[in-house]
Structure 1
Amino acid sequence: MGITLNVEQYLKDLEYLVNIDSQSKDPEGVAKVAAFFEKAFGDIGWTVERVVFDPTAGPSLKITNGEPPYDALLLGHLDTVFPKGTVAERPFSRDEKRAYGPGVNDMKSGLLFGLYAARALTAKGSKGSFCIAYNSEEEIGSRRARPWIEQLAQESRTSVILEPAR
Structure 2
Amino acid sequence: MTGPALVAHMEASLPRMLHDLETLVTCESPSGDLDAVAASAAVVADVGAVLLDVEPEQIVIEGRTHLRWRLGDAPSRVLLLGHHDTVWPIGSLARHPFSVSGGLVRGPGCFDMKAGLVMALHAVAALPDPSGVTLLVTGDEELGSPTSRRLVEEEATGCAAALVLEASADGGALKTERKGVSLYEVGVYGRSAHAGLEPERGVNATVELAHHILTVGALTDPARGTSVTPTVLTSGHTSNTVPGAGRFAVDVRVRDTAEQVRVDTAMRDLRPVLRGARLEITGGPNRPPLQHSASAALFARAVALAGGLGLPELAGTAVGGASDGNLTAGVGTPTLDGLGAVGGGAHADDEHVVAAQLPARTALLAALTHDLLSGRPSAAPGRQAAEPALTAEGNRP
TM-score, normalised to structure 1's length? 0.88
1:45 aligns with 2:53: yes
When residues 70 and 47 of structure 1 are mapped into structure 2, their CA distance, relative to the original with a 3 A threshold, is farther
Kept in 1, the 8 Å contact 2:98–2:107? The answer is: yes
- The 5-angstrom pairing of residues 78-97 of structure 1 reads 78-97=84-103
When residues 145 and 67 of structure 1 are mapped into structure 2, their CA distance, relative to the original with a 3 A threshold, is farther
Deviation at 1:141, TM superposition (A): 0.6
For residue 8 of structure 1, the aligned residue among 15, 30, 35 is 15
Q: Quick one: distance in 1 between partners of 2:75 and 2:60?
A: 23
Q: Quick one: distance in 2 between partners of 1:17 and 1:42?
A: 14
Report the 3-state secondary structure (helix = DSSP H, G, I; strand = E; otherwise coil) of the residue aligned with 1:50: strand
For residue 143 of structure 1, the aligned residue among 140, 143, 146 is 146
Kept in 2, the 8 Å contact 1:18–1:91? The answer is: no
When residues 139 and 68 of structure 1 are mapped into structure 2, their CA distance, relative to the original with a 3 A threshold, is farther
Letter of the aligned partner of 1:45 in structure 2? D
Letter of the aligned partner of 2:37 in structure 1? V
Report the 3-state secondary structure (helix = DSSP H, G, I; strand = E; otherwise coil) of the residue aligned with 1:52: strand
Q: Quick one: distance in 1 between partners of 2:119 and 2:59?
A: 21
Letter of the aligned partner of 1:52 in structure 2? V
- The 5-angstrom pairing of residues 6-155 of structure 1 reads 6-43=13-50, 44-55=52-63, 57=64, 59-67=65-73, 69-121=75-127, 125-126=128-129, 128-155=131-158
Q: Quick one: distance in 2 between partners of 1:162 and 1:53?
A: 22
Deviation at 1:155, TM superposition (A): 3.7
Bigger mean CA deviation after superposition, 68-77 or 138-147: 68-77
Deviation at 1:67, TM superposition (A): 4.5
- Which residue of 1 is the match for residue 164 of structure 2? 161
When residues 68 and 137 of structure 1 are mapped into structure 2, their CA distance, relative to the original with a 3 A threshold, is farther
Q: Which runs of 5+ in 2 are unaligned?
A: 171-397
Q: Quick one: distance in 1 between partners of 2:81 and 2:44?
A: 14
Kept in 2, the 8 Å contact 1:41–1:63? The answer is: no
Structure 1 or 2: larger strand share? 2
When residues 46 and 89 of structure 1 are mapped into structure 2, their CA distance, relative to the original with a 3 A threshold, is same
- Deviating above 3 A after TM superposition, structure 1's stretches of 4 or more consecutive aligned residues are none
Kept in 2, the 8 Å contact 1:49–1:62? The answer is: yes
Report the 3-state secondary structure (helix = DSSP H, G, I; strand = E; otherwise coil) of the residue aligned with 2:103: coil
When residues 47 and 8 of structure 1 are mapped into structure 2, their CA distance, relative to the original with a 3 A threshold, is closer
Percent identical among aligned pairs is: 34
Letter of the aligned partner of 1:154 in structure 2? T
When residues 37 and 102 of structure 1 are mapped into structure 2, their CA distance, relative to the original with a 3 A threshold, is same
Greater relative CO (CA pairs within 8 A, separation 6+): 1
Q: Quick one: distance in 2 between partners of 1:42 and 1:104?
A: 20
Q: Quick one: distance in 1 between partners of 2:31 and 2:73?
A: 30
Question: How many residues matched?
Answer: 161
User: CA RMSD of the aligned region, Å?
Assistant: 1.7
Q: Which runs of 5+ in 1 are unaligned?
A: none
Deviation at 1:68, TM superposition (A): 5.9
Letter of the aligned partner of 1:25 in structure 2? G
When residues 120 and 8 of structure 1 are mapped into structure 2, their CA distance, relative to the original with a 3 A threshold, is same
When residues 132 and 69 of structure 1 are mapped into structure 2, their CA distance, relative to the original with a 3 A threshold, is same
Letter of the aligned partner of 1:159 in structure 2? A
Report the 3-state secondary structure (helix = DSSP H, G, I; strand = E; otherwise coil) of the residue aligned with 1:42: helix
TM-score, normalised to structure 2's length? 0.39
Rg: which structure is higher?
A: 2
